[in-house]
Every structure is written in C-alpha cells, then in structure tokens.
Amino acid sequence: MRNARTVPTLEPVDAGDHVCWLVGPGDDFTMTARAFAADGALFGDKVLLIGAPDARWSPDGAPQGVVVDPLTARADGAGWNAAAMLDLVVREADTASRQGFRALRVLARMDRVWPGSANPREIARHELDLDRLAVARTAVIVCAYHRFSFRPDLLEQASGVHPHHLGTRTEMPGFRMYSVGTDCWSVSGVVDSDGADAFRTALDELVARSSTLRLRCEELELMDAAGMRALVDAARRAPGRRIVIEKADETFRHCWSLLGYDVPQIPVELAP
C-alpha cells in the first residue's frame, strides 16, 4: 500500500515511488542525480535521465542508461514537451520490462521540460499522469523542480500531487494527493486556505477524467472550510460527475454537515 512520506535522501526510494525534489541553491543537483543513477545498477534498474546530461553514471568509462536533453532536442527541431516526456517514460518502462530490468528509474529536471515555466493546471495534469505511471509501469520517478525556475504557487502545486518528498519534514507540503487505484486517489495532510487553490486545481483535473472520483481520506489530518469549498466547486463544475469521499472521520462529517453541503444538490457523497 502506498503512503505519503518524506525522505532525507534518494537512497530509500523504490519501485512505485514518485518523488518531488524542490532543488534549492544549496543542493548539489549533479552529485545527487549521479548517486541516484548509480543506485540503479545496484538494484537492476534501467536509468532514464531527462534534462540532466551531466548526471550520467559511467563505471569504468562506460556510460549507463538513457539520457535525453529536451534543450538539445528542441534545438535539433524535435517537438519536446510534457506529453513527450510521458510518452518516453511509458516507452522506456515497457522496454525495461522486456529487457529484464527490475524497474525503470527516472530523474527529470523539470525546468528543462518546461523551459518557459508552466501553469498550475499543466503541472497537476502532468504529475497526476506520472503518478499513475509510477504504479502501473513499476517505475521510480523523481521530478526535480529548481526553485529559481518556478513561482512559489507552481512549486506548491507540484508538491501537492506527489506522494513522496525529498527534504526535511518541515518542508513537507500541506497536502498530498496520489493514486491508490483506478479512479481512486488518497488525500493526506492538511487542506486549508493556503493550499485550497492547488487542491482545487488537482481536483478539476481528476474530475474531468472520470464519472466517479473516489477520494480516500484516511490519512487526511484536517480539511477546513476552504478545502471543502474546493470540493464542492470542483464537483459542481463538472455536470454528470460525482466525488465520493471514503474513510472520512467524524470531524470531517460534522463540519461538512454544518456547512450545509450534505444535500442532494451537491454531487459529493460521503461513503459510510
């Protein structure tokens, strides 16, 4: 079963993990990326490095893994964007499986994927797709967001749609949303007024994909009125769709009722 967690280094990551790394000015990106790639050989993983050509690990001078640099690809006239990254991850994961590797190990430098930055909806869509891929294709995916290349709201959006976070506990995002099954997503942490916009953006993307979206809330610590309002708004904006809240605690249920949301006109259902 997947659980949200923070890791101090990339050493303990495993197949199915999807890690957000907010790279700060004091972080040694190249050395960390090289160590991550080198660990792939120890565990029998195929390594895919996106936008990090200097991170290729070379034992005895023999380069290992697949390296793709979007900047070079664009300069050569190739169309390279977030969709191209998804296609590449799927293709290499399938190839790794056929070649007998344990898993595909991916590290992507996201400012190379989006050199002109991105908007919150694009980031939510891309990372939610990657999260499903990490589980379905048995991959380890690390998304490195350099802090100087993205606005704070974009970094918040990226953090909220990863189950795992590289750093310290004090740097954890307020909430995390990640795949735990078909059309079922776990919500953990705190959804309050600070993170309500990022939460609503992720919900908008998920509601658009399925007629019934299930949100599992057993790891949810708190959702305030702003978070609940985001739920209602996302459900109302998609006619014919509904959201089912699973494993909500009594505090959630009581607040939901007090806010007047426990009515048939709102397509959000609290499962028993």
Instruction: Inform me whether the pLDDT recorded for 127 exceeds 80.
Output: yes
**CA separation for the pair 56, 50 (Å, rounded):** 10
**CA separation for the pair 177, 128 (Å, rounded):** 9
- Work out the mean pLDDT of the chain and round it to a whole number: 91
**CA separation for the pair 82, 258 (Å, rounded):** 42
Instruction: Inform me whether the pLDDT recorded for 57 exceeds 70.
Output: no
Tell me which residue of 151, 158, 119 sits closest to 166, measured CA to CA.
158
Instruction: Inform me whether the pLDDT recorded for 209 exceeds 80.
Output: yes
Task: Tell me the sheet residues that pair with 48.
Answer: 66, 106
**CA separation for the pair 132, 181 (Å, rounded):** 9
Say what the pLDDT of residue 170 is: 55
CATH topology of domain 1-170: Rossmann fold (3.40.50)
Domains 1-170 and 174-272 share a fold: no
79-100 tens-digit pLDDT: 788 999 999 999 999 999 999 9
Of all residues in the chain, what percent carry a pLDDT higher than 90?
Answer: 78
Regarding predicted confidence, which is higher, 171 or 245? 245
User: What is the pTM for the complete model shown?
Assistant: 0.93
| Domain residue ranges of the chain, discontinuous segments joined by + | 1-170, 174-272
CATH topology of domain 174-272: Transcription Regulator spoIIAA (3.30.750)
User: Minimum mean pLDDT among 38-47, 53-62, 132-141: which range?
Assistant: 53-62
- Widest Cα–Cα separation across the chain: 67
**CA separation for the pair 46, 52 (Å, rounded):** 16
Instruction: Inform me whether the pLDDT recorded for 155 exceeds 90.
Output: yes
Which region, left, alpha or beta, applies to residue 132 given φ > 0 means left and ψ of -120 to 50 means alpha?
A: alpha
**CA separation for the pair 38, 32 (Å, rounded):** 10
pLDDT category of residue 254 using cuts at 50, 70 and 90: very high
Average pLDDT score over residue span 198-223: 96
